[in-house]
Amino acid sequence: MAEDSFPGWHGTTIIGVKKGDEVVIAGDGQVSLGQTVIKGSARKVRRLKPGGHEVVAGFAGSTADAFTLLERLEVKLEATPGQLARASVELAKDWRTDKYLQKLEAMLIVTDGKDIFVITGAGDVLEPEHDVTAIGSGGNFALAAARGMMDSDKDAETIARDAMAIAADICVYTNGRLTVEKISA
């Protein structure tokens, strides 16, 4: 099949919400190939414990690429225990400059309960302005929904779940089968 005719894999929405002393990362379970749902229950949010320090990570993009990045992030976190920002920057630098890593197609949201970052292959480590961030096919829908709820009385988990439900109603590449991980500062 010619590369330009391959319909491509789609289907992930990951959201990170920080409110009070709690951070929640939630991700849907859908993986699509073109217009076909290949799997509806993929698990794209993981809890890591490198060096005894808990980190929650969610990924959008190629699964194999994301697992490669998560493994690299764990190595960086073991080298800099408890320093998520430093480990994230080191991963982003490697991702941007390493010929092998440059070909990886994924994005990550990571948190240690204090900080939350989006890490991209362009070398970015982005901290959200409004304590909410989202990536993936339905990311903009989930982000807008969550931003609209941040001033409400809802806690981080409720905001994340409600925003993902809205994204699932709008984006055909997002479903409502969520994996939710919570971590406190």
CB 91 within 8 A of CB 117: no
DSSP 101: G
Ordered strands of the 45-48 beta sheet? 45-48, 55-61, 106-111, 116-119, 125-126
- Please name every residue paired with 13 in a beta bridge, in sequence order, or none if there are none: 136
105, 66 in Cβ contact below 8 A? no
Question: 121, 96 in Cβ contact below 8 A?
Answer: yes
Rounded CA separation 53/78 (Å):
9
Is residue 12 annotated as a catalytic residue, yes or no?
yes
Picking from 98, 144, 159, 136, the residue whose alpha carbon sits closest to that of residue 90 is 98
Catalytic one of 12, 13, 111, 174: 12
| Residues catalogued as catalytic | 12
